[in-house]
A and B are shown apart, each in its own frame.
Chain A
Amino acid sequence: MRENKSALIAMSGGVDSSMAAYFMLKNGYHCEGTTMRLYRNEDIGRCGFRTCCSQRDIDDASEVAFQLDMPYEVLDFTMDFRQQIMEKFIRIYEDGGTPNPCIDCNRYMKFDKLLKFAQKKNLNYVVTGHYARIERDAETGRYLLKKALDDTKDQSYALYTMTQNQLAHTLFPLGGLRKKEVRELAERLHFVNARKHDSQDICFVPHGDYTKFMEEYTGRRYPSGDFLDEKGTIIGRHTGAVRYTIGQRKGLGLNMGEAVYVCEKSMKDNTVTVGPESALYTKNLIAEDMNWISFETLKKPKEFQAKTRYRQSEQKATVFPLTNGQVRVAFHIPQRAITPGQALVLYDGDMVVGGGTIVTAFT
């Protein structure tokens, strides 16, 4: 059977996905572009009359699609985004964790809803501008997710939830390129977004003030409470436990004579426990909702490289399978500020073995 060379390009309005579209067209694929509208100004507590930043992204994407003479449309995913991303984000913070909504957006929006949309349109692949590579293991037949060649831009961490079916129908044309070359080529092609800077914040929390976003979204106020030291003694007042994240030092407003860090939060008692940096280090964690990529499932303990946050170098660890899809990860040396809600991603060389969500950390 001839390969179905057709693709739906997920265009964020940024330079990477625009260039992904360019490469796919150059490689002879029939391409259609789309941008997912994920939220409107009203959803993030802004006035509806202001130009939404997501509208600017849509304008840029449609401009590039026009230049490439590629059909383009905007898909309204705002309802699903509210339910599956924004509300989960709030729930995890309120439960004392630190969510990673970009991973959920990849999981539920790009590689689920969007892939379904592509298939409905008889387009064989979803294409994004992610820096990562997909390869097929000749022996096992499994699709493998690998790090980008440009390891300064590698985004494989945020893609660990991808299933075999999703990997089979996804292409990352930038995985083998360097960001610098991508930008330079975009400039030569006069793309409007060639110089647009990379997104940093969470898209629906433009200035990083997630508590404000949550208060506006839920209509709740997060009450102030007590700071405790390691012995449980009250040492000050905090402005709402959701505002703090494990390992945080700045903005605590405590004068302890020495640097202190957020070590623990109790949402039930609305307390935040601080301590010296040494108290942040733990050797073990439990992760749940594991997705395995390079094999079906983990049957016995095995050593991998592990990451507990996006910007962290990999650490040696032994992974023990537990019941109901959980694992225990024992690091060979203690790790700083392992945070519930964040993703655990396991690597074997440049290959993503699998990953899950961190539930708890302990020594």
Chain B
Amino acid sequence: MIYLDYSANTPVAPEVLERFLQVERAFMGNPNSSHSAGLAAQAEMAKVTEKMAQLLGVSPGEIIYTSGASEANNLAIKGIARSARHVGRHIISTPLEHSSVSGCLTALQEQGYEIDLVDIERDGTVNLNELKDLLRKDTILVAICGVDSELGCIQPISEISEILKEYPNCCLHVDATQAVGKTNISFSGIDTMCFTGHKFYGLNGCGVLLKRKNLIIEPLIHGGTSTTIYRSGTPALALAAATQTALEMALKEQSHRYEVVQDLHRKLRKELESYPNVRLNSPKNGVPHILNLSVQGVKGTVFQRSLDEQGVCVSVKSACSAEGQPSRAVLAVSQDRKNALSSWRLSLSHLTTEEEIQEFLRAFDRCYTMLTGR
């Protein structure tokens, strides 16, 4: 099997799994309990969180653990929208967002919030002038991904943050799920930002929301103070520790991993470009981890299934968000419905080998010939 879907999930690093087991075995207490077993777990939780904060350049009190990035996106967006409902009900986002962001916005829209999606340029970055035009006094939130999951476009977050300085009522939420460990994204100038470890060789089931100090949001999950008042529930100490280890490794090895992936990306791009019916949708200035392409005239789901039969795992836009409709992200950069319906995504890792790339290209060639009749 050739796995080229690392933006969906990565295999856990042995060190991360080891850390999980070690912490899980060592601490039996609930960090919320006041006896010695609980206090020991609480102390470890504090240590893990402190270390994580250090790695991210934030203060420990700004870290909220969740069950994953989806929950973190929900908590930030709904939390801000609800607590700011008396200030305004206007929210700006982009067509590139993950369904856990766009889904929240649809839900809020049904509750009377007004949602605007800012246009994006052909290179996938948001149109900053249009953003300025859309901003209003009652805009309470701009929600944008640092790197989008479909195309891998990198957004100019610091420029956006700069623009928002003139709008003190407006928060900036950044979904950094595809950015952490791949780009040098920093929390400065941002109000809330989320990520999850399973995108960088951590474990599934743990997400992190960074929330700027003094920002009040309404929690989604009520039930007493845990590590924070913003998210109740027994803290998942071992998962948090595993996430911290994964983050530490990802940041330490970031430039090395990046170079390996970039090299593979270049080779792939060069080979795929030579097919007349292939259109590469990912912009050249995006992250190298993601390469989105369309084979003209062949539906993305059909090409994906065909590659799967050849033992290659790639992904098409999840059918869950807006069924049957073309990928909004690819539609936005290509302005071509049929092209968007033909799109699918390769995502690479530093673990991907040259041999795998070669084998993928052979499988691709077979599918291409079979499905386009060329």
- A→B interface (CB under 8 Å): 35, 37, 58-59, 61-63, 65-66, 69, 71-74, 76
**Interface residue from A65, A66, A69, A73 paired with B323 (Cβ < 8 Å):** A73
Q: B301 on the interface (CB 8 Å rule)?
A: yes
Given A69-B338, A71-B337, A63-B325 contact (CB < 8 Å)? no
A360 → chain B, closest Cβ, in Å? 43
Expressed in whole angstroms, the Cα–Cα distance for A283 and B141 within the complex equals 70
Residues of chain A with a CB closer than 8 A to B338's CB: 66, 69
- Complex CA–CA separation, A61 to B338 (angstroms): 15
Q: Which residue of B lies closest to A71 (CB)?
A: B337
Since A58-B323, A73-B323, A74-B324 are in contact, a sample of 8 more A-B pairs with Cβ atoms closer than 8 Å, ordered by chain A residue number, is A59-B301, A61-B324, A62-B324, A65-B324, A66-B299, A72-B324, A73-B322, A73-B325
Given contacts A66-B338, A66-B341, contact A74 B323 (CB under 8 A): yes
Contacts of A73 in B (CB 8 A): 322-325
Cα–Cα, bound, A71→B326 (Å): 9
6 contacts between A and B (CB under 8 A): A37-B323, A58-B324, A61-B324, A63-B299, A66-B341, A73-B322
In the complex, the answer to whether A63 meets B324 with C-beta atoms within 8 Å is: no
A198 CB to nearest chain B CB (Å):
23
Decide yes or no whether B302 CB sits under 8 A from chain A.
yes
Question: Nearest Cβ distance between residue A190 and chain B, in whole angstroms?
Answer: 11
Q: Which chain B residues border A61 with CB–CB below 8 Å?
A: 324
Say how far B294's CB is from chain A's closest CB, in angstroms. 12
User: What B residues does A74 contact at CB under 8 A?
Assistant: 323-325
Chain A residues with CB under 8 Å of B299's CB are: 62-63, 66
Closest-CB distance, B17 to chain A (whole angstroms):
25
Are A35 and B324 neighbours in the complex by a CB distance under 8 Å? yes
CA distance A58 to B322 in the complex (A): 13
Chain B 322-344 residues near chain A, CB threshold 8 A? 322-325, 337-338, 341
0/1 interface trace, chain B 311-324, chain A, CB 8 Å (1 if under):
00000000000111
Chain B residue nearest to A76 in the complex (CB): B323
In this complex, the member of B301, B302, B323, B338 whose beta carbon has the largest number of chain A beta carbons within 10 angstroms is B323
Chain B residues with Cβ under 8 A from A59's Cβ? 301
Q: What residues on B are CB-neighbors of A37 within 8 Å?
A: 323
- For window 252-302 of B, CB contacts with A under 8 Å fall at 299, 301-302
Residue of A nearest to B341 (CB): A66
What's the Cα separation between A72 and B338 when bound, in Å? Answer: 11
Question: How far apart are B139's CB and chain A's nearest CB, in angstroms?
Answer: 28
Chain B residues near A76: list those with CB within 8 A.
323
**Bound state CA distance, A37 and B319, in angstroms?**
13
CA gap between A340 and B32 in the complex, in Å: 62
Q: How far is the CA of A33 from the CA of B90 in the complex (A)?
A: 32
CA distance A69 to B341 in the complex (A): 10
Q: With A and B bound together, what is the CA distance between A65 and B301 in angstroms?
A: 13
Contacts of B324 in A (CB 8 A): 35, 58, 61-62, 65, 72-74
How far apart are the CA atoms of A328 and B266 in the complex, in Å? 79
A72 cross-chain contacts in B, Cβ below 8 A? 324-325
Bound together, the chains give a CA A63 to CA B322 distance in angstroms of 16
Report the separation of the CA atoms of residues A73 and B337 in the bound assembly, to the nearest whole angstrom.
12
Separation of A92 and B140 alpha carbons in the complex (Å): 51
For B302, give its contact among A35, A58, A63 (CB under 8 Å): A63
- In the complex, what's the smallest C-beta–C-beta distance from B106 to chain A, in angstroms? 12
A-B interface, 9 closest residue pairs, ranked by CB to CB distance from nearest: A74-B323, A74-B324, A62-B324, A66-B299, A73-B324, A72-B324, A73-B325, A66-B341, A69-B338
Taking the closest CB of chain B, its distance from the CB of A304, in whole angstroms, is: 43
State how many angstroms separate the Cβ of A53 from the closest Cβ of chain B.
Answer: 15
By a CB distance below 8 angstroms, the chain A residues around B341 are 66
Cα A35 to Cα B337 in complex, Å, equals 18
In the assembly, what is the distance between CA of A22 and CA of B119, in Å? Answer: 34
Residues of B within 8 A of A66 (CB): 299, 338, 341
In whole angstroms, what is the CA distance A63 to B302 when docked?
A: 9
Residues from chain A with Cβ under 8 Å of B301 in the complex:
59
Contacts of B337 in A (CB 8 A): 71
Report the bound CA distance from A69 to B299 in whole Å: 11
Q: Which residues of B contact A58 (CB under 8 A)?
A: 323-324
Q: Which residues of B contact A63 (CB under 8 A)?
A: 299, 302
> Shortest CB–CB separation between residue B68 and chain A, in angstroms?
19
Q: How far is the CA of A71 from the CA of B337 in the complex (A)?
A: 8
Chain B residue at minimum C-beta to C-beta distance from A63:
B299
Residues from chain B with a CB closer than 8 A to the CB of A62 are 299, 324
CA distance A59 to B324 in the complex (A): 8
| Closest B residue to A62 using CB positions | B324
Shortest Cβ distance from A107 into chain B, in angstroms?
A: 24
Kindly report which residue of chain B lies nearest to residue A192, judged by CB atoms: B302
Q: Which residues of chain B from 7 to 49 have any CB-CB distance to chain A below 8 Å in the complex? A: none
A124 to B341, CA, bound (A): 26
Q: Which residue of B lies closest to A59 (CB)?
A: B301
**Residue from the set A58, A72, A76 with the largest chain B CB neighbour count within 10 Å:** A72
Give the CA-CA distance A71 to B336 in the complex, in Å. Answer: 11
Closest CB in chain B relative to A3 CB, distance in Å: 26
Q: How far is the CA of A73 from the CA of B299 in the complex (A)?
A: 15
Rounded to whole angstroms, the CA-CA distance of A59 and B316 in the bound complex is 13
Residue on B with the closest CB to A34? B324
By a CB distance below 8 angstroms, the chain A residues around B322 are: 73
- Find the B residue at minimum CB distance from A72: B324
Q: Which residue of A lies closest to B325 (CB)?
A: A73
Q: CA A150 – CA B301 in complex, angstroms?
A: 36
Most buried by A among B301, B324, B337: B324
- Inter-chain CA distance A72–B325, complex, in Å, is 6
| A264–B322 alpha-carbon span in the complex (Å) | 48
Residues of chain B lying within 8 A (CB to CB) of residue A71: 337
Determine the distance from Cα of A65 to Cα of B299 in the docked complex, in whole angstroms: 11
Nearest CB in chain A: distance from B99 CB, A: 14
Residue ID in chain A nearest B342 by CB atoms: A66
Q: How far is the CB of A271 from chain B (nearest CB, A)?
A: 47
Question: Bound complex: CA of A54 vs CA of B338, how far in Å?
Answer: 24
